[in-house]
Chain A
Amino acid sequence: MNRCFSCARLFAMISKEFVQIRRDPPTFGMMVGIPLIQLLLFGFAINSDPKHLPTAVRDADAGPVGRAVIAAMQASQYFRVSLIPDGEAAVEDAFAHGDAQFVVTVPADFSRRVLRGEHPALLVEADATDPAATANALSALDRLAAAAAARELAGPFAGLKQGEAPFEMRVHRRYNPEGETTFNIVPGLMGVVLTMTMVIMTCLAVTRERERGTMETLLAMPLSPFEVMLGKILPYVAIGYLQVVFIMAAAKLIFAVPMMGSLTLLSAVTVVFISANLAVGYTFSTVAANQLQAVQMGFFFFLPSIMLSGFMFPFRGMPEWAQVIGEALPLTHFLRIVRGILLKGSGWEAIAPDLAAIAAFLFVAGFIAVRRYRMTLD
């Protein structure tokens, strides 16, 4: 039997952990409950279809086509239209105060140019800080503006309806130029759920043994720190992986998130990411004096993860210092990888740098954890 590492001892640890997880229904409930609740909250919150969005209209044209479009917007449930005076200052004002989610500008001579068949542009500016809020309204606007114009062009100008649209809708997204869509959130949620549950679960691992007094038995046994760590981490890799399968199924079946890239690749990356989070939690548990402290440390890690990783706010929109912190968090890299694989179909080479960052994080955290684990009670 090897002195420092034996599979038999590791399996003993793992099966012991599984027995204990099974005997602890609240914890088990948390592992199933957190992904479920988050998925429903975030998933349906983003899926909800916000109506009556404040919309400011600058009508520099005052012609029939422009008015028809405005009337159609008003009639639809999506927009609550108010007219504002012409001029950039008024637009800036409306956005800055949050008075308007959209500013629609009907340029001068719009109607005349439509009738002449010149395809003028109707300018739509959107406050896209919350892309989920604007996406549906924008696509509705596209449809209803075309329909309104078509009605207006009936009769003598019917010929114009043929072929291309009578005017162009030029959408300009402010604050969030990437125009991230709802699809970004469900894959991101996977990373958030994993960070939360994995760190919290393992940060209790060692403190619980210490608080219940079982550490003395564990230390009196011929187990190496490495075996204890792996034994405590591996069961949760399996559980985390189940969570992933669950979220991915929901993403596909409920939210119809596209899955462009390789799911095998995603699975492999996910295991590394789960392990990194577990290692962080385990490190906390070797440092914390009691379970409460460990959970507090867990939250201390979780908060920046959710705020600065690009899940909550667009990463490029954050100040420099926040980006630096964000780069050091595994969730940041995982979000890029998941979005890359699912939405853009990224392959191995494209995600390699981010994967390397997560792996480095895993290595450092694991190293600290094994070093911190004390073989004695003092």
Chain B
Amino acid sequence: MTAAIAVTGLTKRFGGRAVVDSIDLSVEEGRIMGFLGPNGSGKTTTIRMLCGLLRVDAGEGTCLGLDIRRDAAAIKRQAGYMTQRFSLYEDMTVAENLDFAARVHGVPDRKARVAEAVERMGLAARRNQLAGHLSGGWKQRLALAASILHKPRLLLLDEPTAGVDPQARRDFWDRIHGFAAEGMTVLVSTHYMDEAERCHAIAYIAYGRLLAHGTVEEVVAGSGLAAAAVRGGGPGLIERVKALPAVETATAFGAVIHVAGGGGAALAADLSAFCAAEGVDWEPEEPTLEDAFIHLMAGSRDNMAEGAA
């Protein structure tokens, strides 16, 4: 399989600060890559460099086999980009926005393709509404429609489902899988764990550094975490669980406390002693992707603090 995105050492500085710091990223063709990380970690900046919207300060690589530094114009012709913030023309209608995008891309048989996109995205009833008057979910559909009109080989989606209701999110992801099945490569940034789990692979960045890269299983396994569920017990139990040395996070899900922490036998040992004393039950669980991310975040924050000290 060939790589649709292959970059190494990608770096962007704003005012001397490395906002994206030497990131290596590769996405195979026809795959969906989830791009995760806390706010301000550099996801948008990375995506913008990939499609030629920001100059690359260091590093190199290719998108669709084209050099990201030299061939930005050619990449733009073959990539679709959906921005984090809605950035189509709010004073133009749905149909006018799509028509503009189709014309700029020189889409053959334009009228039919626009009509098809309107139909496919369920925008038919709103085709003559001003884009600025659409609600969030419809804006997102319109933006997606505009970014795939020219049948791009690479689709870059920047937090496409932020603020969208669960049903619309599910529809959206079904569509994205449809595109991938047609051979499109998708890089999608998100904050939602359930969305991350629908990706073929994920990349996690924090403070501009790539902390993990691979399938969900690989990332979870790579974190070296163990997890457990603690059941029963009264109020204040969660605080006492958190105080255990091997426990990194403890989260209440109704009556069950999900605990993640030090791998190997450390967590099991701590919990056995603790639960016996408290008179509650516990059992081992699979660590989740969220556990892994929180662990990675905490680790990188410590690294940053050490670096600063």
Identity of the chain B residue whose Cβ is nearest the Cβ of A221 in the assembled complex: B104
Partner of B88, one of A8, A217, A224: A217
Tell me whether A221 and B106 are in contact (CB under 8 A): no
Stretch with Cβ within 8 A of A (4 or more), from B95-103, B169-177, B267-275: B95-103
With A23-B91, A23-B92, A375-B72 known to touch, is A220 a contact of B51 (CB < 8 Å)? yes
Tell me whether A16 and B53 are in contact (CB under 8 A): no
With A3-B73, A9-B103, A20-B91 known to touch, is A378 a contact of B83 (CB < 8 Å)? no
Question: Is B52 among interface residues, defined by CB-CB distance under 8 A?
Answer: yes
Residues of A within 8 A of B81 (CB): 220
- What is the size, in residues, of chain A's interface with B at 8 Å between Cβ atoms? 30
Question: Is A223 among interface residues, defined by CB-CB distance under 8 A?
Answer: yes
With A9-B103, A23-B92, A220-B51 known to touch, is A213 a contact of B76 (CB < 8 Å)? no
Residues of B within 8 A of A220 (CB): 51-53, 76, 79, 81, 83
Tell me whether B103 and A222 are in contact (CB under 8 A): no
Residues of B within 8 A of A222 (CB): 73, 76-77, 104-105
Tell me whether B100 and A16 are in contact (CB under 8 A): yes
Q: Among the interface residues A24, A216, A224, which one has the most CB atoms of the partner chain B within 10 A? A: A216
Partner of B89, one of A11, A16, A376: A16
Question: Is A1 among interface residues, defined by CB-CB distance under 8 A?
Answer: yes
Question: Is B90 among interface residues, defined by CB-CB distance under 8 A?
Answer: yes
Question: Is B240 among interface residues, defined by CB-CB distance under 8 A?
Answer: no
CA–CA, A224 and B77, complex, Å:
12
Tell me whether B83 and A376 are in contact (CB under 8 A): no
Residues of B within 8 A of A296 (CB): none
With A19-B92, A222-B104, A378-B54 known to touch, is A217 a contact of B76 (CB < 8 Å)? no
| Per-residue contact bits, chain A 5-35, to B (CB 8 Å; 1 contact, 0 not) | 0101101110110011001100000000000
CA–CA, A221 and B54, complex, Å:
14
With A20-B91, A220-B51, A220-B53 known to touch, is A12 a contact of B76 (CB < 8 Å)? no
CA–CA, A72 and B169, complex, Å:
92
Question: Is A268 among interface residues, defined by CB-CB distance under 8 A?
Answer: no
Tell me whether B54 and A377 are in contact (CB under 8 A): yes
Tell me whether B89 and A6 are in contact (CB under 8 A): no
Cross-chain pair count, CB within 8 angstroms: 78
With A221-B101, A378-B54 known to touch, is A216 a contact of B87 (CB < 8 Å)? yes
Question: Is B55 among interface residues, defined by CB-CB distance under 8 A?
Answer: yes
Question: Is B231 among interface residues, defined by CB-CB distance under 8 A?
Answer: no
Residues of B within 8 A of A9 (CB): 103-104, 106
Question: Is B127 among interface residues, defined by CB-CB distance under 8 A?
Answer: no
CB distance from A354 to the nearest CB of B (A): 38
Question: Is A77 among interface residues, defined by CB-CB distance under 8 A?
Answer: no
Question: Is A214 among interface residues, defined by CB-CB distance under 8 A?
Answer: yes
Question: Is A143 among interface residues, defined by CB-CB distance under 8 A?
Answer: no
CB distance from B224 to the nearest CB of A (A): 38
CB distance from B166 to the nearest CB of A (A): 27
Question: Is B141 among interface residues, defined by CB-CB distance under 8 A?
Answer: no
CA–CA, A112 and B49, complex, Å:
96
CA–CA, A223 and B96, complex, Å:
18
CB distance from B43 to the nearest CB of A (A): 15
Question: Is B48 among interface residues, defined by CB-CB distance under 8 A?
Answer: yes
With A3-B73, A213-B87 known to touch, is A20 a contact of B92 (CB < 8 Å)? yes
CB distance from B195 to the nearest CB of A (A): 23
| Per-residue contact bits, chain B 109-150, to A (CB 8 Å; 1 contact, 0 not) | 000000000000000000000100000000000000010000
Residues of A within 8 A of B88 (CB): 214, 217
Give chain B interface residues in 29-88, CB to chain A under 8 Å. Answer: 48, 51-55, 72-73, 76-77, 79, 81, 83, 85-88
Tell me whether B53 and A8 are in contact (CB under 8 A): no
Chain B interface size, as a band, is 20 to 34
Residues of A within 8 A of B73 (CB): 3, 222, 224
Question: Is A230 among interface residues, defined by CB-CB distance under 8 A?
Answer: no
Question: Is A97 among interface residues, defined by CB-CB distance under 8 A?
Answer: no
Tell me whether B92 and A16 are in contact (CB under 8 A): yes
Tell me whether B89 and A20 are in contact (CB under 8 A): yes
Residues of A within 8 A of B76 (CB): 220-222
CA–CA, A186 and B90, complex, Å:
40
Q: Among the interface residues B81, B89, B96, B101, which one has the most CB atoms of the partner chain A within 10 A? A: B89
Residues of A within 8 A of B89 (CB): 16, 20, 214
Tell me whether B103 and A212 are in contact (CB under 8 A): no
Identity of the chain B residue whose Cβ is nearest the Cβ of A8 in the assembled complex: B106
CB distance from B50 to the nearest CB of A (A): 11
Residues of B within 8 A of A377 (CB): 48, 53-54
Identity of the chain B residue whose Cβ is nearest the Cβ of A3 in the assembled complex: B73
CA–CA, A362 and B237, complex, Å:
77
Identity of the chain B residue whose Cβ is nearest the Cβ of A231 in the assembled complex: B104
Question: Is A219 among interface residues, defined by CB-CB distance under 8 A?
Answer: yes
Residues of A within 8 A of B90 (CB): 212
Identity of the chain A residue whose Cβ is nearest the Cβ of B14 in the assembled complex: A378
Identity of the chain B residue whose Cβ is nearest the Cβ of A16 in the assembled complex: B100
CA–CA, A23 and B130, complex, Å:
10
Tell me whether B100 and A378 are in contact (CB under 8 A): no
Tell me whether B103 and A217 are in contact (CB under 8 A): no
Tell me whether A213 and B100 are in contact (CB under 8 A): no
Tell me whether B92 and A217 are in contact (CB under 8 A): no
CA–CA, A191 and B53, complex, Å:
39
Partner of B104, one of A12, A213, A376: A12
CA–CA, A212 and B14, complex, Å:
22
With A221-B101, A221-B105, A222-B77 known to touch, is A216 a contact of B53 (CB < 8 Å)? yes
User: Given known contacts A215-B87, A217-B88, A219-B53, what 7 new A-B pairs fall within 8 Å (CB)?
Assistant: A16-B89, A19-B96, A23-B130, A212-B90, A375-B72, A376-B53, A376-B55
- Give B contacts to A, CB under 8 Å: 14, 48, 51-55, 72-73, 76-77, 79, 81, 83, 85-92, 96, 100-101, 103-106, 130, 146
Q: Can you identify 24 A-B contacts, CB atoms within 8 angstroms?
A: A6-B106, A8-B106, A9-B103, A13-B104, A16-B96, A19-B92, A19-B96, A20-B89, A23-B91, A23-B92, A212-B87, A212-B90, A214-B89, A217-B83, A220-B52, A220-B53, A220-B79, A220-B81, A220-B83, A222-B77, A222-B105, A376-B52, A377-B54, A378-B54
What are the 10 closest A-B residue pairs judged by CB atoms, nearest first? A12-B103, A23-B91, A220-B81, A217-B87, A222-B76, A222-B77, A216-B87, A213-B87, A221-B104, A16-B100
